[in-house]
Chains A and B, each alone.
Chain A
């Protein structure tokens, strides 16, 4: 990516991220990738009816996840945030339970489609299918954090296509007006299902719009873990100091079709599909870690092996778990008497 803001931003920050943080980012991204690939397999085997992937977004999400504090901060995610939910402490098993629509699925008890994340225990707010509504929830969470005099912050994310609707503007406007502690993440992969960026908006960067709200807006290369982490850390410091929200746009690549029901070959040029895989964010991160001497080939292998092992165990456990009883469909429309 040849984004000038990113290049400028990166100057002088290379090498400033601690090795253990880089390792943490990598571990989260790998776990997400292996899990994601496995759920695709379940889908293609006919065992999981639907999947919507985060592949190509993992490094950006994992880097932001490493810059916040999941013990006090909250995230209001969107459907590609698999890696973000792992950074906030959800397990692969939690996602297998959802993909297989099991009763114990902590996201929704098998009520929602997979990738509609949520877990109160992990500070991950439940999300539905309408896009950008969650921006306002994160803003409200941040308002409450401010009114309760905490130093916590909220993180929310969406795709670039979702920035075309009204809630995106209303959330930025309110959060900026009241200087609320929010990180607005735009994961710009260039496609809203089949509609490319140039039919979605007249500019190439959503972050340009931050100017209109009087807040910082940065675009970062979503395959550059250091740039992503530093941008997030800067935004976190600003939020904790009470200076308000930041708009961070991760320029990422969608490595799969929109969902398991979509076929991107109908609208995406073949050479482009080839190219995005060549610049896979995970491969780039591995190359960087080796080059910087943060991890060795053996380290990478053992991290990947551990992820595969974890996913094997979690998938097995989820497959053994029971489906919901039909009549439980009637429960929890409203709070039930204790």
Chain B
């Protein structure tokens, strides 16, 4: 057991599963000698060679389409998309092909494929290096979508994803690559990819969130709980498709007040779905309207620091929302 960053945990997950299973290989831009633009594959090319850590041409549909083909033949590909912002050329391959392969063939074929992509902002990445596209994929049956919030989950969920018989989109918050740290066992292990995680139990209010927002909510909640008598539950959704409906409903019924926090903009998002689940299944248990925090309705995150800061869900915004809900 050692303290590792998010990106180190992801790298260790890939390395150990590649050692464990020679069908696993990586295809992506700059994943070879450079080790990826964020260093996620650092050292893997040196260890596994050209055949298993392959630099791809600069073509995202190619990356995913080739990985689908390799998966159909029995390999276990990892497609690295350099930034989630650039996954769009591959969406036809992901939604029309990978997501539908099992269904359209009546279970004759499956695509065991992991697509890793860094997402999210707050790193001066501007419009095309900051986006959060998870919701788009969460509306597609046939896909699984996960967002780890900490290094332990990242390693365990990645290994689970690599053993999953169906396509898994594994989205990593790029700001968390080095800022998120935590204990990670040295050995290989799995964390299930279809369950939420109650990271903090509470009685008065539930915060549903995921990704880098989990640690931010934990910090704000700790500060608020020190100042006043309030007990806050925090649920790390971590599996966005499928959502862990049972855990969501149980927590909302228990506390009766719900705040949903995400970095992505709110319209037709994860928070919309969680809110819908709660309105369907928890109506009689609620003591306040569901509250949501997310990005504003602008196309993407602007570059200039004041504009970028305006976009982000900050600790101040979370604190205000908690206080309003508590007072309701």
A residues neighboring B (CB under 8 Å): 74, 76, 105-112, 116, 118-120, 125-126, 128-130, 133, 135-145, 147-148, 154, 166-167, 170-171, 173-174, 177, 331-336
Contacts of B128 in A (CB 8 A): none
- A106 with B108: CB separation less than 8 A: yes
Task: Report chain B residues within 8 Å CB of A174.
Answer: 56-57, 59, 62, 66
Bitwise, B39-70 to A at CB < 8 A (1) or not (0) is: 00000000000011000110101101111111
| Alpha-carbon gap, A174 to B92, bound state (A) | 18
- Taking a contact as CB atoms closer than 8 A, the residue among A118, A130, A143, A334 that contacts B66 in the complex is A143
Q: Are A130 and B75 in contact (CB under 8 A)?
A: no
Check A139 against B107 for contact (C-beta < 8 Å). Answer: no
Q: Given A140-B66, A140-B68, A332-B102, is A167 in contact with B108 using a C-beta cutoff of 8 Å?
A: no
Known contacts A126-B109, A170-B57, A335-B166; A116 and B72 CB within 8 A of each other: no
B110 touches A133 (CB 8 A): no
Contact pick for A147, options B25, B65, B96, B107, CB 8 Å: B25
Nearest-neighbour CB distance to chain B for A274, whole angstroms, equals: 38
Give B90-107 interface residues, CB cut-off 8 Å to A: 92-93, 96-97, 100-107
- Using A74-B73, A136-B93, A141-B72 as known contacts, say yes or no to A171 and B65 having CB atoms under 8 A apart: yes
Further contacts, 9 of them, CB under 8 A, given A129-B96, A170-B57 = A120-B109, A128-B104, A139-B62, A139-B65, A140-B73, A144-B69, A147-B25, A167-B61, A335-B107
- With both beta carbons as reference points, the residue of chain A lying nearest to B65 in the complex is identified as A136
Sample (17) of A-B pairs whose CB atoms are under 8 Å apart:
A105-B106, A107-B105, A118-B109, A119-B108, A128-B100, A130-B92, A136-B62, A137-B68, A137-B72, A138-B69, A140-B67, A147-B51, A166-B59, A167-B65, A334-B142, A335-B102, A335-B110
Q: Which residues of B contact A76 (CB under 8 A)?
A: 69
Contacts of A332 in B (CB 8 A): 102-103, 106-107
A118-B108, A120-B108, A130-B96 given; A145·B73 CB < 8 A: yes
A141 to B68, CA, bound (A): 8
Report the nearest A residue to B77, measured CB to CB: A140
Q: Is the CB of B89 within 8 A of A166?
A: yes
Given A133-B92, A170-B61, A335-B166: A118 and B105 interface contact (C-beta under 8 Å): yes
Query: In the complex, what residues of A have CB within 8 A of residue B185's CB?
Result: none
B residues 292-324 with Cβ under 8 Å of A? none
Asked whether A333 lies within 8 Å of B65 as measured between CB atoms, the reply is no
Complex contact A173–B62 (CB within 8 A): yes
Instruction: Give bound CA distance, A136 to B109, whole Å.
Output: 16
**Per-residue A-contact encoding for B5-17, CB less than 8 Å = 1, 0 else:** 0000000000000
A140-B70 contact given A108-B106, A126-B101, A335-B165, CB 8 Å threshold: yes
Chain A residue contacts of B72, Cβ below 8 A: 125, 137, 140-141, 144
B289 touches A (CB below 8 Å): no
**A140 to B142, Cβ gap below 8 A?**
no
Residues of B at the A interface (CB closer than 8 Å) are 25, 51-52, 56-57, 59, 61-62, 64-75, 77, 89, 92-93, 96-97, 100-110, 141-142, 144, 165-166
Please indicate the chain A residues that have their CB under 8 angstroms from the CB of B51 in the complex: 147
Report B-chain residues with C-beta under 8 Å of the C-beta of A143. 66, 69-70
Question: In angstroms, how far is the closest chain A Cβ from the Cβ of B183?
Answer: 31
CA distance A291 to B107 in the complex (A): 48
Q: How far is the CA of A59 from the CA of B238 in the complex (A)?
A: 53
- B110-A333 in contact (CB<8A): no
Known: A137-B72, A139-B66. Is A108-B105 also a contact (CB below 8 A)?
Answer: yes
Cβ 8 A contact of A111, one of B73, B103, B109: B103
Query: A108: shortest Cβ distance to chain B, in Å?
Result: 5
What residues on A are CB-neighbors of B93 within 8 Å?
Answer: 133, 136
Lowest 8 A-B CB distances belong to which pairs?
Answer: A140-B69, A136-B65, A109-B106, A144-B73, A170-B62, A137-B69, A126-B105, A140-B66
Cross-chain contact A170 with B103 (CB below 8 angstroms): no
Give, as a whole number of angstroms, the nearest-CB distance from B11 to chain A: 22
A124 to chain B minimum Cβ distance, whole angstroms, is 10
Q: How far is the CA of A139 from the CA of B264 in the complex (A)?
A: 35
Give the docked Cα–Cα distance between A333 and B62 (Å).
Answer: 24
A144, B73: Cα distance in complex, Å? 6
Contact assessment for B62 and A111 in the assembled complex, using a CB-CB cutoff below 8 Å: no
> How long is the Cα–Cα vector from A140 to B72 in the complex, in angstroms?
8
Min CB gap A262→B, angstroms: 22
Q: How far is the CB of B221 from chain A (nearest CB, A)?
A: 34
Given known A174-B57, A333-B141, A334-B142, contact A141–B69 (CB-CB < 8 A): yes
Whether the pair A139, B108 counts as a contact (CB closer than 8 A) is: no
A209 to chain B, nearest CB (A): 16
B106 to chain A, nearest CB (A): 3
Whether the pair B73, A333 counts as a contact (CB closer than 8 A) is: no
The one of A108, A119, A133 that contacts B65, using a Cβ cutoff of 8 Å = A133
CB-based contact A136/B69 at 8 Å: yes
Interfacial chain B residues near A135, Cβ < 8 Å:
65
* Chain A residue contacts of B89, Cβ below 8 A: 166
Q: Determine the chain A residues whose CB is within 8 A of the CB of B71 once the complex forms.
A: 140
Q: Which residues of B contact A331 (CB under 8 A)?
A: 107
What is the CB-to-nearest-CB distance from A202 to chain B, in angstroms, rounded to a whole number?
Answer: 23
Instruction: State the CA gap A119–B52 with chains docked (Å).
Output: 28
Roughly how many angstroms separate A125 CA and B34 CA in the complex, as a whole number?
Answer: 34
**Residue of A with least CB distance to B141:** A333
Contacts of A170 in B (CB 8 A): 57, 59, 61-62, 65
A141 adjacent to B65 (CB under 8 Å): no
How many angstroms from the CA of A49 to the CA of B261 in the assembled complex?
A: 48
